[in-house]
Chain A
Amino acid sequence: MGIISAHGTGIEDNWLNVAEGRSGIKEIESFDSSRYRGCSGGEAAGFTDTHLDRLKNKRLDRASLLLIHAVREALSKADIINSINDEDIILSLGTTLGGMLSGQMFHQEAVKKGIDKARVSLVSDYLAHYQPVNIFREFDLRGDTIMFSDACASGANAIGYAYRCIGNGEHNTAVCGGYDTMSEFTFAGFNSLMAVSPAMCRPFDINRDGLVLGEGAGILVLEELRSALGRNANIFAEIIGYGKSSDAYHMTSPDPSGRQASNAISSALKDAGNPDIDYINAHGTGTKFNDAMETAAITHSFGDRAVSIPVSSVKPMIGHILGGAGAVEGIISILSIINKTLPPNLNYNTPDPDCGLNIVRETSSHEIKTALSNSFGFGGSNASLIFREYPCKI
């Protein structure tokens, strides 16, 4: 696994900060956010550059740099960085906006200087399908790529797709995950939708008033179990379930009934053989509509058990990473299993009767064997993943 977020670079730093319940949300540094409704976010401020073996930094968008760094960590942690190019792999990635910082710069130059003065070199890494190509070039990979843009469910769907590719024997190794950067384009867009909190992100709290944006990347290496055992790999966890659905309701609002989000959860549970779930890493954006909808979906899927399963969202700590959220939060779910620790849902002070779930207020030890990670996005895209401890002691 490889991860970059407002909590830092790498698995260890990220988990330490999550477990200690720290917030990585600060006033935005990369652009002037003072004129917006909310002015804070979860920037990966400590990340400025990464080591490159084959590519040149000059033309790479920050999205590619984040991605390359996270992929390198994941391949190193999986101990396949020197052997990954021996076989055809599948690279399955998700993003909402691709190389938007380059795109933003190009659009700005076109508006300010005129179309013929805008640098065309900015365009190539603006396009989202160039980032997987950059990964292939940097790590000298061969095989296949797929690039999902399913809004905030992109990363989860990219992992789910890779999981299926391994499960059906099509590939032996998959590199998968998601990413997005902090850009003024995105920030202004969510502000225009009045979706950004002017104060803080407080999922499931009655006073919640919006999300905070984040940036980062999460990458997982998936491998067929026998193959991983055969090479004595360090196995972090198993993926045992994946479900997806679509609301077909509204472009920016979730279906309040939570019916289709529940279908994604229930499909994942069915796929996993209906295990007991010990922890739910919620999508939990902190918007009025999402959290009420997610509560309805969880309640619909788990029935009476819904009120007892610990639930938390890590978005108050690292922000909403959009296309990267499903992947980064999937990794945090796995780390929760490994460390038998429930991450806290920061800023949860006043329970909302419409969100009657067992919200985790403080970091606590818990016997987590299985974790469900939810991702729900614009356009009604829903995806759920289920992770299980390895070795499974159930």
Chain B
Amino acid sequence: MQNLIISGIGPLSPSGAGKEKLWELLSGSPSVIKEITRFSSLPGAKGGEIADKDIDAHIDARKFRRAADVSKYAMAAIGLAINDAGLDSVRGEDSAMVAAITHGALNYTQDYHESLLTGGVEDISPALFSDSVLNAPAGNASICFGIQGAVHTIIGGVSASIKASIMACRLLEEDSIQRAAVIATEEINELSFYCRRKFGESIMSEGAGAILIERNNGERNSQRYCSISGFSSYLDTSDLDKSFRTAVDRALAMAGIKKQDLNFALVDMPPGIHSGYLDNIQQNSVSRYTGNAFCVSSIWNIIIAAYIIDKGFLPEYFSETGKKPDNADNIKNVLVCSLEKTGSAAAMVLTKIA
């Protein structure tokens, strides 16, 4: 595999826009998990909402004012990642994009169904339909940023962002492109909140995250957070632990390291499921502090893993001592991995650039 690096990160989380806000959330900031304001039909529902939906600060959004929140979040996150990478633009055929989606624009979908059922055909806004299709965030973002290389949307649960990142690495290997953006985006919706609560998940979240992946060829004096040294995804519906172990082992093998070489792991598991496979590795997850944002949870994990490697130390809530170490340069390999209750597992190893 070519030497691929993460050169820009852009989280839009309930703690705010940008990497510093996400880091602060994991370093002693007050909790962002509060009573949901989006809807009132589920009293006591708690989660991490995006407080500031004005994305004009991040992109020229006038053209997209009618877009669904998932699309707006995606565009804001990519704008943040592009700025973070020190790029003026990603316009053109040498940029690609892969989006991860779990539910998509559920609020528009819900409004659309309601319009159709209560008002009839004439009552439907075409925008509610076109912006509720699953690839709308990727479509809107590609238009917003002029991305004309391959643009894909990968559907999945928490593993989808890792799979989308793997896809982006493949595109850099196979296509004549300079960079690939990976985005994940989700929005809180009352129906999905209701269903997830029935399935035993009580705290939801929303937002987006984006990373930029480039070749580490020194052509651009770019920000370089870390290299992507290994990845894998696997599904065995009959044996969840085997799925998880296989994905992790293959990612480690690709990176040329062993489990004990990992300094930290960011792990997302479904409620009530535990794999002992990484028990000896210090681990945590952003979603513990934001609520479950599905595919976005794992892009936030990738983003914070890259930032941890760049900074050389863990944020306070992730650290066993709770303090910045004296030798802030001892984090070399971080694993980001996930397992879904279907058995779908994915893993990615991020490594300090030598």
| Interface residue ranges, A against B (CB under 8 Å) | 35-36, 88, 95-98, 103-104, 106-108, 110-112, 115-116, 118, 120, 123, 127-130, 132-133, 136-137, 140, 142-151, 157, 164, 184-185, 188-194, 244-252, 260, 263, 377-381
Contact = CB atoms under 8 A, between A and B. Distances in A.
Nearest to A195: B126
Given A245-B149, A246-B148, A246-B150, A123 B195 contact: yes
Q: Is the interface of B mostly helix, strand, loop or mixed?
A: mixed
Contacts of A247: 142, 148
A185 B139 contact: no
B344 A133 contact: yes
B254 to A, nearest CB: 11
Interface hub of B101, B136, B156, B194 (most chain A Cβ within 10 A): B156
Given A118-B191, A151-B135, A245-B149, A35 B121 contact: yes
A145 B118 contact: no
B160 to A, nearest CB: 7
B111 to A, nearest CB: 10
Contact of B121 (A147, A188, A263, A381): A188
B235 A115 contact: no
B190 interface: yes
B234 interface: yes
Contacts of B217: none
Interface of B: 41-42, 91, 93, 97, 101-103, 109-110, 112-114, 116-118, 120-121, 124-126, 129-136, 138-140, 142-143, 145-157, 160, 163, 167, 170, 174, 190-191, 194-195, 198-199, 233-238, 342-344
B142 A246 contact: yes
Given A133-B343, A381-B139, A142 B130 contact: no
A321 to B, nearest CB: 15
Given A111-B117, A147-B155, A149-B155, A185 B130 contact: no
B139 A115 contact: no
Contacts of A104: 113
B139 A116 contact: no
Given A97-B133, A129-B160, A151-B135, A157 B152 contact: yes
A263 B93 contact: yes
B191 A193 contact: no
A189 B112 contact: yes
A191 B121 CA distance: 8
B235 A142 contact: yes
B237 A127 contact: no
B154 A148 contact: yes
Contacts of B132: 189
B135 A150 contact: yes
B131 A96 contact: no
A251 B154 contact: no
Contacts of B174: 164
Contacts of B155: 95, 98, 127-129, 147-149
B143 A193 contact: no
A248 B129 contact: no
B44 to A, nearest CB: 14
Contacts of B146: 248
Contacts, number: 187
Contacts of B135: 96, 149-151, 377-379, 381
A245 B149 CA distance: 5
Contact of A246 (B101, B118, B147, B237): B147
Contacts of A97: 133-134
Nearest to A137: B237
8 contacts: A95-B155, A120-B194, A128-B134, A129-B155, A151-B139, A246-B149, A249-B143, A263-B93
B138 A379 contact: yes
A118 B195 CA distance: 9
Contacts of A127: 102-103, 155
B230 to A, nearest CB: 14
A120 B200 CA distance: 12
Contacts of B136: 251, 378-379
Given A35-B120, A188-B121, A380 B191 contact: no
Contacts of A108: 113, 117
A378 B150 contact: no
Given A115-B194, A192-B125, A146 B163 contact: yes
Contact of B140 (A140, A193, A251): A251
A147 B110 contact: no
A136 B140 CA distance: 32
Nearest to B236: A142
A255 to B, nearest CB: 9
A136 B112 contact: no
A123 B102 CA distance: 13
Contact of A192 (B91, B124, B233, B236): B124
B124 A147 contact: no
B190 A115 contact: yes
B125 to A, nearest CB: 7
B11 to A, nearest CB: 23
B235 A144 contact: yes
Given A136-B237, A140-B238, 14 more contacts: A107-B109, A107-B110, A116-B194, A120-B198, A136-B235, A146-B167, A245-B93, A246-B142, A246-B148, A246-B150, A260-B93, A263-B148, A379-B135, A380-B139
Contacts of B112: 185, 189
Nearest to B243: A142
B126 A193 contact: yes
Given A107-B191, A149-B153, A192-B124, A245 B143 contact: no
A150 B96 CA distance: 14
B133 A151 contact: yes
B320 to A, nearest CB: 35
A142 B235 CA distance: 6
Nearest to A93: B155
Contacts of A137: 237
Nearest to A377: B135
B143 A248 contact: yes
A149 B101 contact: yes
A96 B104 CA distance: 12
A246 B290 CA distance: 33
B305 to A, nearest CB: 22
A121 to B, nearest CB: 10
